[in-house]
Amino acid sequence: MTIAVQFRDKYNTPDITSSSNILASSSKLLDVASNMSTMPPTHCTGCGDEFQALEARIPMAGDDICRECFDCSIKPQFESALVNEADYPPTIGRTILNILDYSHLLPGELIDAYIKKGNEYAILPKHRVYCSNNAKCSAFLGHISKEEFLVLCEECHSTTCMSCCKIVRYIRIRALLSRPHKCKKLGDPNDHQLPEETRGKEWQVCPGEGCGILVTLKDGCNHVICTVSACRTEFCFFCGKPAKGSSGHWRNRGPTSCPRYGTTHLPEAEAPGAMDAIIEQAQEMRLRLDALVEFMDQPDILQPPRNIDQWLGRPLGAPIADEQGDLGRVMAERQRQLRERAAWEWDRMGALGHLEVGEQALWNFLQDVDLPDFGMD
């Protein structure tokens, strides 16, 4: 007689080789992963502090921040928009913030003032009418009108004509009826009375339809975006024509071209192969920069230490290392300074608009550094 003996697993371990068990285990893992992905965040995206309660989380453009970060970084943006139109509306990245989404976190006075400013900013500046009692008020009254009618300011109780934007100094209605107001012809709002020879250098007029505000630019990129929230026209500060940043407006060269940076026309290429020569020079510049960084990573070949300071420390104003033990620290600092200076030169000369100009500037900088011969000349 044959006796079948069955051994029992005292731990009741499931048979992991079974297909049904494998599917069940996979399903449990997926459930756990799904639950983890839907769990609310536990830390503030801004400061990294842990939320003490779920109610402390404030949704903000796909992230969650704490109340302290909101008061320090978000609330000031709404306050700044009240005094500076360029800051309206507040954004996080490309997400526009709606003040009503945070009405439970902001005072009612701020919300009311922000909504009023939004109504004002929605109108182009040349079409806005403000209280003509400039000495006391200048409150926003509304959109300019082609018809003559008077508006009483709620702030100072002065009367302003919405057609000519002039104050009407009548105390009694009877006097107003006996001497009706006559509008005076308004001057051209685009007549800024500035010297035309400085246009495109010190000032420019926004070409946006119905806008025409005066824009000034001290330095930097000539790609300008109008600060008026109802306009936001992108244009070239140099010539005053509409131009988007990626339109290629600044890529042409010659006496009629617009520079991306500064107020000087770019020289026209003298020969068809001139651009190829510039590109070849830029590639050589990059090789020299790579060789410089690699050279600085090998302090054992820099003997004596004072030599590296003589050709590298002079243009950067760095101290001289008198001891061999200071060489590693000095070399690390030189490498950091070189990278920062190179990046600064690149940005300053406008590598975005004119690649060859930025590369030429960086090439000139490396030439000034007086690099050792790497066998590339």
Are the CB atoms for 266 and 253 separated by under 8 Å? yes
Residue ranges of domains in the chain: 54-121, 126-173, 197-268, 274-369
Higher pLDDT, 333 or 238: 238
Which of 76-80, 220-224, 258-262 bottoms out in mean pLDDT, i.e. has the lowest?
258-262
Which of 11-25, 32-46, 129-143 bottoms out in mean pLDDT, i.e. has the lowest?
11-25
**Cα–Cα distance between 281 and 371 in angstroms, integer?**
16
Give the global pTM: 0.54
Of 229, 73, 114, 118, nearest in space to 63 by CA: 73
Average pLDDT, stretch 303-315?
43
Which of 127-141, 253-267, 308-322 bottoms out in mean pLDDT, i.e. has the lowest?
308-322
Q: Taking each helix axis from N to C terminus, what angle separates 274-296 and 355-369, rounded to the nearest 10 degrees?
A: 40
Q: Mention every residue, 6+ apart, whose C-beta is less than 8 A from residue 130.
A: 138, 139, 140, 141, 160, 165
Average pLDDT, stretch 259-270?
65
Of 328, 256, 254, nearest in space to 297 by CA: 328
pLDDT score of 183: 73
What digits encode the pLDDT tens for the residues 88-97?
Answer: 999 888 888 9
What digits encode the pLDDT tens for the residues 234-243?
Answer: 999 998 999 9
Strand partners for 362: none
What digits encode the pLDDT tens for the residues 20-52?
Answer: 555 555 565 555 555 544 556 678 888 888 887
- Tell whether the model's pLDDT for residue 319 goes beyond 60: no
- Pull the structure tokens for residue 362: 């960086």
DSSP helix, strand, coil percent of the chain (3-state; round to 5): 40, 10, 50
What digits encode the pLDDT tens for the residues 55-69?
Answer: 678 888 888 888 889
> What pLDDT band is residue 158 in, cutting at 50, 70 and 90?
confident
Average pLDDT, stretch 115-133?
89
Cα 232 to chain centroid distance, Å, stands at: 14
pLDDT score of 301: 46
Q: Which helix (H) or strand (E) holds 64?
A: strand 63-65
What digits encode the pLDDT tens for the residues 362-371?
Answer: 555 555 544 4
Question: Which residue is it, tokens 């003032």?
Answer: 113
| Maximal C-alpha separation, the chain | 132
> What pLDDT band is residue 157 in, cutting at 50, 70 and 90?
confident
Higher pLDDT, 195 or 35: 195
- Tell whether the model's pLDDT for residue 76 goes beyond 90: yes
